Amino acid sequence: MNATDSHDSRTGRLAGKVALITGAGSGIGRAAALLFAAEGAAVGVLDRDGAVAEETTALVVSAGGRALALTADVSKSAQVSAAADALAAKYSCIDILYNNAGVDSRGSVVVAEETDWDRCFDVNVKGTFLMSQAALVHMGQGGSIINQGSVAALVGVMNFAAYCAAKGAVVALTRSMAVDLAGRGVRANVICPGTVYTPLMEPMLRTRGDGDLDLGLERTLVKYPIGRLGHVDDIARVALFLASDEAAFMTGSVVAADGGMTAQ
Ligand SMILES: NC(=O)c1ccc[n+]([C@@H]2O[C@H](COP(=O)([O-])OP(=O)(O)OC[C@H]3O[C@@H](n4cnc5c(N)ncnc54)[C@H](O)[C@@H]3O)[C@@H](O)[C@H]2O)c1
């Protein structure tokens, strides 16, 4: 199944909403852009890679949705402000922000490199902070922010020290945002996905398989009671729920979407 397969039934759960999704040029972010648009949202498709942002935007538009491609590095404040301003200028406000853009970083605390640590925190943590600040300018009273965590925030994942720490910080930041923003009707929740087969994960799977992708997959699958890895749509649907008014009583929630990985 690919990201476009399952969006044929439109129920308008985000009708009239404007959503900004970061890292929407690939993987989970692209799936979320297609799903949110199919549910009626106008979508800001933000990626640091403008070409893939344009590709996702074209997919949304060809499926009958509304989207604006935005090129920005979420770790650069001037770029995220310009992107949020451009989306609000086109669609008049921002109701939903999905802080999905992220990078991983390999290595245990013994060997992890300082530059990788900095990059991992810049994109995953500072990017979430900067993008939220920029989007909140246009959010007014009411809105939903969904941050992308990881199971790596909840359990130790071997040889991913910086990534575990950064995603842990995203969970803590989400709780802080939930408390600070509740008074103005903005909800903030964090999704902690288990392993989803996307370009981001392939190097990790190869490493786990000592260079062999199939072996890496096999070694990963044993951690998943549900018997399979995640699909991008598994995570996009959780994001859709948190974005929608159906999740009106949820804020500060840490939602694992991990096939039972952290339940054992
Ligand atoms: N794939 C998984 O198994 C998995 C598991 C848990 C959490 N996550 C998290 O989900 C999110 C999306 O992961 P994915 O697997 O879809 O990744 P992906 O690599 O397929 O897509 C990530 C996208 O983010 C963009 N991006 C990276 N850095 C950026 C930056 N500084 N500014 C703007 N855009 C940037 C990339 O260009 C890319 O298009 C990440 O935060 C990741 O940590 C993924």
- Model pLDDT for residues 47-67, shown as the tens digit of each residue: 999 999 999 999 999 999 999
Confidence of residue 74 (pLDDT cuts 50, 70, 90): very high
Residue 29 CA: nearest ligand 1 atom is: 16
Cβ atoms within 10 Å of 46's Cβ, excluding its own: 35
Reply yes or no on whether 91 is catalytic: no
Ligand 1 atom 30 nearest Cα: 73
- Cα angle: 5, vertex 190, 163; to 5 degrees: 95
Tokens of 16: 């009239």
**Could you identify the residue written with the tokens 């009708």?**
15
Side-chain half-sphere CA neighbours of 44 within 13 A: 34
Query: How many Å lie between the centroid of ligand 1 and the Cα of residue 223?
Result: 22
**Angstrom distance (rounded) from CA 161 to CA 200:** 16
Structure confidence by residue, pLDDT tens digits, 7-57 = 545 689 999 999 999 999 999 999 999 999 999 999 999 999 999 999 999
For the cut 80, the answer to whether the pLDDT of residue 6 exceeds it is no
Considering the chain, tell me which residue range(s) the CATH 3.40.50.720 domain(s) occupy.
18-194+231-249
**Could you identify the residue written with the tokens 């990078």?**
103
Could you tell me the fold of the domain covering 18-194+231-249? Answer: Rossmann fold (3.40.50)
Predicted pLDDT at 9: 52
Catalytic residue among 91, 163, 197, 224: 163
Torsion of CA 226, 231, 237, 239, to 10 degrees: 100
**Angstrom distance (rounded) from CA 35 to CA 100:** 14
Q: Indicate the pTM of the whole model.
A: 0.95
* Residue of 24, 192, 27, 179 whose CA lies nearest to 96: 24
**Angstrom distance (rounded) from CA 183 to CA 146:** 17
Side-chain half-sphere CA neighbours of 229 within 13 A: 17
Structure confidence by residue, pLDDT tens digits, 110-157 = 999 999 999 999 999 999 999 999 999 999 899 999 999 999 999 999
Cβ atoms within 10 Å of 117's Cβ, excluding its own: 18
